[in-house]
Amino acid sequence: MGPEFIIGGCMKNFSKILICMVLVLLIGILNGAEKPKNDKMIGVILPFSSAFAGIANEQKEAIELVMQNYPDYDVIFKDSKSDAAGAVVAFQELLALENPPFAVISCASWVATALHPLAAEADIFHMVIASANFSRTVPRHTVRFTLDASQEERQLANYLNKFQRIAIYNMNNSYGNGWKKTIETNFKDKIVKAIAYNPQHKDFKNDLLEIKNVKPDALVMLSAGNGALIAKQARQLGITAQFVGTRPIERPELLVEAEFTNGLVFTYPTYDVNHPMITLFAKTYETAPTIFGVEAYASIKSLIIASNQGNLSTSDLFDWYAGKTFTGALGEIYFDETGDAHYPYMYKEISDGEFITAPFQFEMLLNDAKQEIEKTFKQTDQNEQQSTEELPDPSFFEKIISRKVTNFPIEMWIMKKDGTIIYDDNKSEIGLNIFSNEIYAAYPSLVKVARTMSSANNGNGEYTFLDVKMKENVTKEIIWATIVLHDIEYRLALTHIKNNI
């Protein structure tokens, strides 16, 4: 082999490498990875022309409220239409810009899952709103502001337990189908019918007749935007089942059709109802925001704060969120290491044409906790032969109660009739006596309630004390019940901050 050959070989390899490099560059440019990003532009992809137009418009309005205060930023809105394919086209249009946005916010589960790998490939930071069913394939790239459906479902299940014949009517998309599967898994024997519907349709009567024929006692509607229409048609056909829903069902139309929707119970996120955004939105648009607007507001506001602090790359932005707690319009929210947000949920209800915090939930959680504590205590008691004198260990209560309070904006505590706290979600209070410890002397309304609790085995009231972090004085509403362990009575209390949810 002569030297020319070697050089020739090198030249050949060199041109191959060159061609490869040009190709990689071209692909990069085509998908936007190599284009310099516009670090003052945010892309927002919402389902404007779809059955979810009302949701998209509300999100846009909330975003515009934020942007009034940040004139140096541009938001470019794109229409994802009704499906993932529409969202991909919208995203490609953003990528085709000379300087694509440094971050993209997208709405809906089916859109989140479709755009997530594309945004990762183009190295554009991705924020996901209104997306309870979402699969990640690329780590450290996307943050999600919506609680995952699997967690919301744990709460819904508490309520669904009491029904025997459950029918499901779900949107035929990843949100509706994902939820349906979860409920079917948990309530296998109780599902009497499950039908998926096209959310672009307006006439649901044929499906609803099939549902009527199986005589359900609960009808779970996994709906957004057309919940009011479905409820109306269902009642007009004579379906008498309890209506049950999830987060996206809350839309203003439900109240217009209150004659048919009154009594609907649904799981819903808590948020800071006293945040200035709520009044500002209502004043500007003459209607109260729903969680869709609140989430959109919270997400873009936090993004701008993060980028104004110099975080512009995907990894810096991701790190800004992951593992941290933020306070904003959504209240206090925690982002786990995968980038998913966590915050409490509760039950809401339509009552007399209004959305209210469902009153039954506090009683239900208290009684669930009471029964589980008594049952578990009896079981462990048989196993371990505890002596009658022995007080149950706080960790025994914690194991049961922490599962009950998780994700609900409530606290629980347990008191001996002499005022000694034997369990409190705030561990620093365990062992203190409400009647004699000096920290309680400054809170006479609490001491008064505790006196009533000593003598009455159940009841309700309100008092002022410190919040769970022992920082600020808050007024709390309380209900209590009695648990009997080894023939000794203890008072189990459930509290929540008044007017906060």
What tokens does 407 get?
């994700």
* Minimum distance, C-beta of residue 248 to ligand COI, in the bound complex (Å): 4
* Minimum distance, C-beta of residue 224 to ligand COI, in the bound complex (Å): 3
One DSSP character per residue, 75-97 reads EEEEE-TTSHHHHHHHHHHHHTS
Pick between residue 81 and residue 165 the one whose CB is nearest to ligand COI.
Answer: 81
Q: Is 355 in the site for ligand COI (CB under 6 A)?
A: no
CB neighbour list of residue 370: distance below 8 Å, 6 or more residues apart? 481, 482, 483, 492
Site for ligand COI in 192-251 (CB under 6 A): 224, 248
Q: Which of 41, 55, 166, 422 binds ligand COI (CB under 6 A)?
A: 55
* Minimum distance, C-beta of residue 247 to ligand COI, in the bound complex (Å): 6
Pick between residue 222 and residue 422 the one whose CB is nearest to ligand COI.
Answer: 222
Q: Is 113 in the site for ligand COI (CB under 6 A)?
A: no
Q: How far apart are alpha carbons 31 and 123 in whole angstroms?
A: 10
Looking at residue 423, its amino acid is Y
Looking at residue 380, its amino acid is T
Residue 422 CA neighbour count, 13 Å, CB half: 18
Q: How far apart are alpha carbons 47 and 85 in whole angstroms?
A: 12
Q: Per-residue x/- mask for ligand COI, residues 114 to 133, rule CB under 6 A? A: ----------------xxx-
* Minimum distance, C-beta of residue 81 to ligand COI, in the bound complex (Å): 12
Q: What angle do CA 308, 310, 316 make, to 5 degrees?
A: 120
Pick between residue 108 and residue 124 the one whose CB is nearest to ligand COI.
Answer: 108
Pick between residue 146 and residue 314 the one whose CB is nearest to ligand COI.
Answer: 146
Q: Which of 59, 109, 302, 420 binds ligand COI (CB under 6 A)?
A: 109
Total residues belonging to the chain: 501
Q: Which of 48, 52, 318, 440 binds ligand COI (CB under 6 A)?
A: 52
Among the residue ranges 103-111, 275-283, 380-388, 475-483, the one whose residues contact ligand COI (CB under 6 A): 103-111
Pick between residue 47 and residue 461 the one whose CB is nearest to ligand COI.
Answer: 47
Q: Which residue has tokens 């409190």?
A: 424
- Let me know how many helices (H) and strands (E) the chain has, helices first: 17, 20
Kindly determine how many residues on this chain lie close enough to bind ligand COI according to the rule CB under 6 A.
Answer: 13
What tokens does 209 get?
């007749």
Task: State phi, psi for 252 to the nearest 5 degrees.
Answer: -55, -30
Comparing C-alpha atoms, which of 78, 147, 88 is closest to residue 118?
88
Q: How far apart are alpha carbons 372 and 481 in whole angstroms?
A: 13
Q: Which of 113, 146, 155, 267 binds ligand COI (CB under 6 A)?
A: 146
Pick between residue 56 and residue 364 the one whose CB is nearest to ligand COI.
Answer: 56
What does DSSP say about strands 459-466 and 473-485: parallel, antiparallel, or unpaired? antiparallel
Q: What angle do CA 363, 365, 366 make, to 5 degrees?
A: 65
Q: Is 108 in the site for ligand COI (CB under 6 A)?
A: yes
Among the residue ranges 33-41, 101-109, 293-301, 329-337, the one whose residues contact ligand COI (CB under 6 A): 101-109
Comparing C-alpha atoms, which of 424, 416, 412 is closest to residue 368?
412
- Furthest-apart CA pair in the chain: how many Å? 105
Pick between residue 251 and residue 476 the one whose CB is nearest to ligand COI.
Answer: 251
Pick between residue 52 and residue 320 the one whose CB is nearest to ligand COI.
Answer: 52
C-alpha of 33 from chain center: 32
Task: State phi, psi for 238 to the nearest 5 degrees.
Answer: 95, 15
Pick between residue 222 and residue 434 the one whose CB is nearest to ligand COI.
Answer: 222
Q: Which of 145, 163, 169, 175 binds ligand COI (CB under 6 A)?
A: 175
* Minimum distance, C-beta of residue 84 to ligand COI, in the bound complex (Å): 11
> Under the rule (CB under 6 A), what is the footprint of ligand COI?
47, 52, 55, 107-109, 130-132, 146, 175, 224, 248
